[in-house]
Structure 1
């Protein structure tokens, strides 16, 4: 390993460790201060949407970023206050008001490409993050959200290192030339193992309180989280390739932006929520 590669590796590992401990500390603090979780999700939404919207200017597309942020935050706080029945109204207002504001601002016909990008951002980074709150509301504990995040991140991490060490065959070169089949399989395997270990430890020590969840459920959840998480990763990779970017930002050294860290979790969260919603006795 040459000096530059070694320095990049050390920075990536150090950044990952700091993010993991900071995330764990903040999530544990959400036990004490329930309002902290929607505030943290709101910060993720704002930063994520800025990373999502701003690069489109390279394609000559200018989304209504402030309106997108407003409607995305509205989804998050609707969820926090248990007002999900107004979700449809929120979406109707979004599709109606954004073109009106575009027309008033420019005096021209609405830019429907920019409208599509704006609305996609709201769904991607407003609707999906709201499931972090729905998971806590449904299961009555922040511990299941901690479980989801760290299981997903463990799979991402092991997929990265497996791909670096053993990767030979490209997974989908058109979307992500650095991802390999070996890395993908390694990530899936380690996600399943991590889900089983954390699940059984949580059940033994009483951190995961739902009694009907068995070891087989954690195996299934591990597999589903791994597969859907990798789809989320590829989704964001396709977005970056379309815009000619390597990372969504530079907020986190050697990791990129916020989107680079939460892309897998965004897709895994709805699946995790509906698994418990549909299969609970």
Structure 2
């Protein structure tokens, strides 16, 4: 517990400052987090140093290099190139590389690198400096509320095999708790900034928080399913007291794209 607290005190302010600043520092941070997360994922399948994995590390850097100018043509060309290069490696290195290796490599890139990029995409949105924090409050806030709700009134197991300690009451409490945080955050912003004159912040934040929290549960269970299959307890020990990057960001991986999509849909059709 002490390690978790010390790590949070030291690491969290640095991450917050970089995300608040945005720009190139945030890009570099996201490339680093994505690359380490992919490495931990590949290592779980005993493939952390396979040559094909370096394709994913390279392409996540290329992806962020173009992310500010991203459009459908650029994205399609990058995905086409990435897939073709993976398949070329499969042919050229067929004696050591299997189709399963190629599939794990691609899945790790899309599951971690691609989905996590929605944090950056949310941050660069015109309202991103306010909304990006909902990704983290939805995931980590709901986790906190779920924990205390679960130990207080939790009786019915949600997924006995994947997560025996997770209860239906805890899940509901976590979602409602995240929505409460979103409401309070929006209320404060409408009183201290002019965002309330431009969008219905309270409704938007509550909806985004609810969807984000609900999908954070799926993110957590997905990571649990993978760890159960690969027979590992934690993805790594990079963050003292927390495990690896994937152990800390497993729910964020699902929350971030959901928050971004809800944001885009609501503001497009408002």
Q: Which of the five TM-score ranges fits, normalised by the shorter chain? A: 0.7 to 0.9
Match runs of 1:129-148 below 5 Å: 129-148=116-135
Match of 2:58 in 1: 70
SS of residue in 2 equivalent to 1:255: coil
TM-aligned CA deviation for residue 189 of structure 1: 1.7
Match of 1:196 in 2: 183
Of 35, 38, 48 in structure 1, the residue corresponding to residue 37 of structure 2 is 48
Match runs of 1:94-133 below 5 Å: 94-104=82-92, 106=93, 108=95, 110-133=97-120
The alignment yields a C-alpha RMSD, in angstroms, of: 2.6
TM-aligned CA deviation for residue 226 of structure 1: 0.9
1:32-87 C-alpha deviation (Å, 9 max, x unpaired): xx2111111111111111111011018x9957221121223333332133355311
- The answer (yes or no) to whether the contact 2:121–2:260 under 8 Å persists in 1 is yes
CA–CA distance in 2 between the matches of 1:251 and 1:132? 21
TM-aligned CA deviation for residue 208 of structure 1: 4.9
Q: What TM-score do you get using the length of structure 2 for normalisation? A: 0.87
Report whether the alignment pairs 1:36 with 2:11.
no
- The answer (yes or no) to whether the contact 2:162–2:225 under 8 Å persists in 1 is yes
Of 178, 193, 203 in structure 2, the residue corresponding to residue 216 of structure 1 is 203
Report whether the alignment pairs 1:273 with 2:265.
no
TM-aligned CA deviation for residue 249 of structure 1: 1.1
CA–CA distance in 1 between the matches of 2:214 and 2:50? 33
Match runs of 1:240-259 below 5 Å: 240-259=227-246
Residue segments in structure 2 that go unaligned for 5+ positions in a row: none
| Displacement over 6 Å in runs of 4+ | none
Match of 1:3 in 2: none
Match of 1:81 in 2: 69
1:227-268 C-alpha deviation (Å, 9 max, x unpaired): 011111111111111111122111222321111222222212
CA–CA distance in 1 between the matches of 2:256 and 2:195? 17
Match runs of 1:143-182 below 5 Å: 143-182=130-169
TM-aligned CA deviation for residue 183 of structure 1: 2.3
Pairs aligned (count):
268
1:73-116 C-alpha deviation (Å, 9 max, x unpaired): 33333213335531112222222112322433x35385111111
Q: What TM-score do you get using the length of structure 1 for normalisation? A: 0.84
Moved more, 238-247 or 130-139: 130-139
SS of residue in 2 equivalent to 1:253: coil
Residue segments in structure 1 that go unaligned for 5+ positions in a row: 1-7
SS of residue in 1 equivalent to 2:251: helix
CA–CA distance in 2 between the matches of 1:199 and 1:128? 25
Change (3 A) 1:210 1:236: farther
CA–CA distance in 1 between the matches of 2:176 and 2:10? 25
